[in-house]
Amino acid sequence: MTAAQSKKHYDLSEVLIDEKTLAKRIAELGAEITKDYEGRSIVLIGILKGSIPFIADLMRHIKLDDLEVDYISVSSYGRSTKSSGVVRILKDLDSDIKSKDVIIVEDIIDTGLTLAYLKEYFMGRNPNSLKICTLLDKPSRRKVDIRGDYVGFQVEDRFIVGYGLDVDQRYRNLPFISWIKEE
């Protein structure tokens, strides 16, 4: 049996958010951030791996001279589609965010556990300000009081894949947002 054959089968459903709609909304978010942070220096922190396509598109719509990008890698889900509530830091920031204006860039806020943890973790490093920009928001699943300052789209309680989001590390490469049927 090849590696591909031994992988679990997932039923990919219809397109929820197409490429054009994603591009348009991300351009709007970039413009909003540009306006809010005019004349300031910002650090975007992408949460690996899910935020990669989003942060890559978003940063090109933020028209500020002094913009840095850094990444942190955390693991909260393992291989399953249910949150364990356990956040592990796999790769920390490279830069010092003390006194900086920081925006966390995330693919989706689901239970909020990951961002609640990261928010506290980053606040411990004394940034000047800390905001959250998330492409997707699933408010119905929230377990802690966390909200995005910049939100692309609200989605229903479905398991989303594509444009960075994965199931079992797959489908991150889809250029649109879809969802899978869970058994």
Nearer Cβ to ligand IMP (33/51): 51
User: Which candidate in 110, 137, 145, 166 is catalytic?
Assistant: 110
- C-alpha 157/C-alpha 154 separation (Å) is 10
149 part of the active site: no
Site string for Mg ion, 32-51 (x = CB under 5 A): ------------------x-
Please report, as ranges, the residues that interact with ligand IMP according to CB under 6 A.
Answer: 50, 76-77, 83, 106-114, 159-160, 165
Nearer Cβ to Mg ion (37/54): 54
Report what 160 binds from ligand IMP, Mg ion, none; CB cut-off 5-8 Å by kind: ligand IMP
- C-alpha 52/C-alpha 84 separation (Å) is 23
* Dihedral over alpha carbons 37, 43, 49, 55 (to 10 degrees): 30
Least Cβ distance, residue 41 to ligand IMP (angstroms): 26
Decide: 89 and 72 in contact? Cβ < 8 Å.
yes
Pairing state between β 150-154 and 129-137: parallel
Decide: 127 and 100 in contact? Cβ < 8 Å.
yes
Report what 165 binds from Mg ion, ligand IMP, none; CB cut-off 5-8 Å by kind: ligand IMP
Give the residue numbers annotated as catalytic, written as ranges.
110
